[in-house]
Amino acid sequence: MADKIQSPKGTHDILPDEAGRWQSAEASLRDIMDVYGYGEIRTPVFEKSELFARGVGETSDIVSKEMYTFDDKGGTSLTLKPEITAPVIRSYIQHSLAKKSPLTKLYYIDSAFRQERPQAGRFRQFHQYGVEAIGSPHPEMDAEVIALAFESLISLGLDDLTLKLNSIGEADSRKNYRDALRDFLTPHVSDLSETSQKRFETNPLRILDTKIPDEQKLLQNAPEISDYLHDEDKNHFSEVCDLLKQCSIPYELDSALVRGLDYYTRTTFEITSPALGAQDAVCGGGRYDGLVETLGGPSTPAIGFAAGIERILLCLEAKGSPDSQNGTQVYFIAQNDEVRETVIRLLQASRQAGVQSDFDPLRRSMKAQLREANRIGAGIAVIVGETEIEAKKAQVKNLASGDQSSVSFDKLPEHLAALQI
């Protein structure tokens, strides 16, 4: 026997008994995106590697350590997308969406790929949903995107969420703060981890993301970015906070929140859940007013977020949320082989009426068929034998209550469709 081929490390199959939860989540997300006026965009699985080097930042962990990159036969360097904002902005520029409307609101439900250490809720191929609102620099756009992020998670069944907010200002504010933070950390560089030492050289703000307790303790005395924001940055952030209060969206301020991607400006935010333990972020985003120009478009303000679907489902599992019911409603049972043609005809009529229906193609005994109906969670069994053929009526049995009635063959599809199972 040949060796079994396993799925690659860090990937996972979504099997039929799990797919219902995914489909339910995706349907809920599409509903709320429609309510907020966002249109769906789908971008290629791979992009030119330059897109991420320019858009995400060559010194970021994603670009320097985690990308799946390869050359095609023409020698072009391509990368499986490790994040989705840069591809969306590339598409926005390429298709001149700004000419169609001064404001473009997009959402996606998509896969991304990063070669990082797999752990609970984190995979090398993972799924995200998110939005990009492109065109408005104003605080009300920030408030809408943050409210949508929060409400979308609520709509999926999550609770006990914490929304953390910060502003990292425009470029001048960040440069002043970066210099101050570097001055503060300089006497302690030798005590930092290897990762933080590299970040000290490339982007010291990323050290604020550290999960190492000793470094977190050191940073308690670090300067705070709010002291280095220009008045315009402060006013913008103050308005965002006021608007969230008007929308009854609870939040807390977190001066250490800088987010892991280099393109962020001004507002940054993160939503966490205690169900995920120490790595508790389920959603994150922020404003990126310079990204469109960096990728070759005109100077255009924008803000967005992304949320991990695997991590959301992990939260729901920890909460004990019931699985979505996506199985068969009606199971057709043939008492013997002689009636199977009639059963197939009735089954097809039921399906054409939009009723989730199935039957046993293994030709098992009636007892085994009833066991199968119960195993898959069917609510109704339709039983057909020789007596039913003569009477042209099927026995319709409620498998929960045991109630049973006779329904004529010609009325059966209508009857089954009317049942609230």
β-pairing, 357-359 vs 330-334, is parallel
Output the CA torsion 152→156→159→165 (10° steps).
Answer: -20
Give the position of tokens 């902005």.
89
Domain final position from 319, 353, 371: 319
Residue 54 included in any domain: yes
CATH number at residue 68: 3.30.930.10
Number of domains in the chain: 2
Least confident of 75-84, 123-132, 271-280, 372-381: 271-280
- Residue 324: the pLDDT is 54
Average pLDDT on 90-96 reads 98
Q: Order across the sheet with 404-408: list the strands.
A: 357-359, 330-334, 380-384, 393-398, 404-408
- Residue 321: the pLDDT is 64
Domain final position from 319, 352, 374: 319
Distance CA 272, CA 248 (A): 18
Answer yes or no: is pLDDT of 183 > 80.
Answer: yes
Distance CA 397, CA 146 (A): 49
Neighbours of 155 (CB within 10 A): 14
Q: In terms of pLDDT, which residue wins out, 208 or 141?
A: 141
Assigned token pair, 384: 């057909």
Residue 191 included in any domain: no
pTM of the model: 0.85
Neighbours of 127 (CB within 10 A): 20
Q: Looking at the structure, do residues 252 and 136 belong to the same domain, yes or no?
A: yes
Residue 76 included in any domain: yes
CATH number at residue 366: 3.40.50.800
Confidence of residue 278 (pLDDT cuts 50, 70, 90): confident
Element (H, E) at 386: helix 386-391
Give the position of tokens 């987010």.
259
Phi, psi of 381 (to 5 degrees): -110, 130
Confidence of residue 143 (pLDDT cuts 50, 70, 90): very high
Closest C-alpha to 84, from 65, 117, 111, 49:
111
Tell me the torsion sign for CA atoms 184, 190, 195, 199: positive
Assigned token pair, 199: 């970040």
Distance CA 397, CA 407 (A): 10
Answer yes or no: is pLDDT of 204 > 70.
Answer: yes
Neighbours of 12 (CB within 10 A): 14
Answer yes or no: is pLDDT of 326 > 80.
Answer: no
Closest C-alpha to 41, from 5, 1, 3, 86:
86
Least confident of 97-101, 102-106, 222-226: 222-226
Assigned token pair, 166: 């910060």
Q: Looking at the structure, do residues 123 and 157 belong to the same domain, yes or no?
A: yes
- Residue 279: the pLDDT is 77
Q: Looking at the structure, do residues 361 and 243 belong to the same domain, yes or no?
A: no
- Residue 122: the pLDDT is 78
Give the position of tokens 């020698």.
75
Domain final position from 288, 319, 350: 319
Answer yes or no: is pLDDT of 402 > 80.
Answer: yes
Q: pLDDT of 7-57, one tens digit each?
A: 999 999 999 888 989 999 999 999 999 999 999 999 999 999 999 999 988
Q: Looking at the structure, do residues 77 and 164 belong to the same domain, yes or no?
A: yes
Q: Looking at the structure, do residues 343 and 363 belong to the same domain, yes or no?
A: yes
Residue 369 included in any domain: yes
Average pLDDT on 200-221 reads 85
Average pLDDT taken over every residue of the chain: 91
Judge contact between 38 and 107, C-beta under 8 A: yes
Give the position of tokens 């008492």.
335
Least confident of 140-149, 295-304, 324-333: 324-333
Residue 310 included in any domain: yes
Q: Looking at the structure, do residues 363 and 234 belong to the same domain, yes or no?
A: no
Q: Looking at the structure, do residues 295 and 394 belong to the same domain, yes or no?
A: no
Answer yes or no: is pLDDT of 119 > 80.
Answer: no
Answer yes or no: is pLDDT of 90 > 60.
Answer: yes
Residue 84 included in any domain: yes
E strands within 52-124? 68-71, 77-80, 104-113
Residue 100 included in any domain: yes
Phi, psi of 394 (to 5 degrees): -100, 150
Residue 404 included in any domain: yes
Least confident of 200-204, 225-229, 394-398: 200-204
Q: Looking at the structure, do residues 27 and 119 belong to the same domain, yes or no?
A: yes
Cβ neighbours of residue 212 under 8 Å, at least 6 residues apart?
193, 196
Confidence of residue 233 (pLDDT cuts 50, 70, 90): very high
Least confident of 119-123, 228-232, 252-256, 290-294: 119-123
Confidence of residue 121 (pLDDT cuts 50, 70, 90): low
Q: Looking at the structure, do residues 43 and 140 belong to the same domain, yes or no?
A: yes
Q: Which residues constitute the domain of residue 384?
A: 330-418
**Bridge partner list, 308:** 128
Average pLDDT on 208-222 reads 86
- Residue 199: the pLDDT is 84
Q: Looking at the structure, do residues 246 and 382 belong to the same domain, yes or no?
A: no
- Residue 198: the pLDDT is 84
Answer yes or no: is pLDDT of 421 > 70.
Answer: no
| Residues in the chain, total | 421
Confidence of residue 146 (pLDDT cuts 50, 70, 90): very high
Average pLDDT on 123-145 reads 96
Q: Looking at the structure, do residues 248 and 384 belong to the same domain, yes or no?
A: no
Average pLDDT on 305-323 reads 85
Q: Looking at the structure, do residues 304 and 155 belong to the same domain, yes or no?
A: yes
